[in-house]
Amino acid sequence: MPVTAYIGIGSNMGDRKAACRKAIDLLSEAGPVKGVSSFYRTEPIGYREQEDFINAVAAVETSLTPGALLDVCRAIEDRLGRTRALHWGPRTLDLDILLFGSQIVNEPGLVIPHPQMAHRRFVLAPLAEIAPNVMHPVLQRTASQMLDDLKDTAAVMRCGPDPVLP
């Protein structure tokens, strides 16, 4: 039975918006894209000596397993030129599975819900925009509640409703 998965999308190299738009289009390989947030310009975390990111969140209705969805996300990243040279470093595209229905997954290489999502404004702002009442299955908090409680002060600015909506 299909579930709704929420995918975090980010880019800070090259034409960042174009990379995010292309990723949104390609996510349809996993199932119908049911919603896409606005784009947000966000400052980098961790390694700070890099360009700002463009971030968004897409809701995908999928019949894939979490592992198969991860494979699709990695293949899209690879097709759009992702290299993994520096942890938290610059990247043409980053796709993260934030939520997969109400499932909890803890496997080597795949943890769902995303372990850092509740601490990152650049994830919660776009997620709360398209799914304010989606529940974190571990914390039992909605996206809006987590955003309201967030202590993260990183700059996250809406760039407008740029993505092609389904």
Handedness of CA 140, 166, 95, 88 (dihedral sign): negative
Residue type, 155: A
Q: Which of the residues are catalytic?
A: 82, 91, 94, 96
- Note whether 156 and 122 are within 8 A (CB): yes
Q: Which helix (H) or strand (E) element contains residue 25?
A: helix 16-26
- Note whether 118 and 97 are within 8 A (CB): no
Residue 43 corresponds to which tokens in the numbers above? Answer: 């400052």
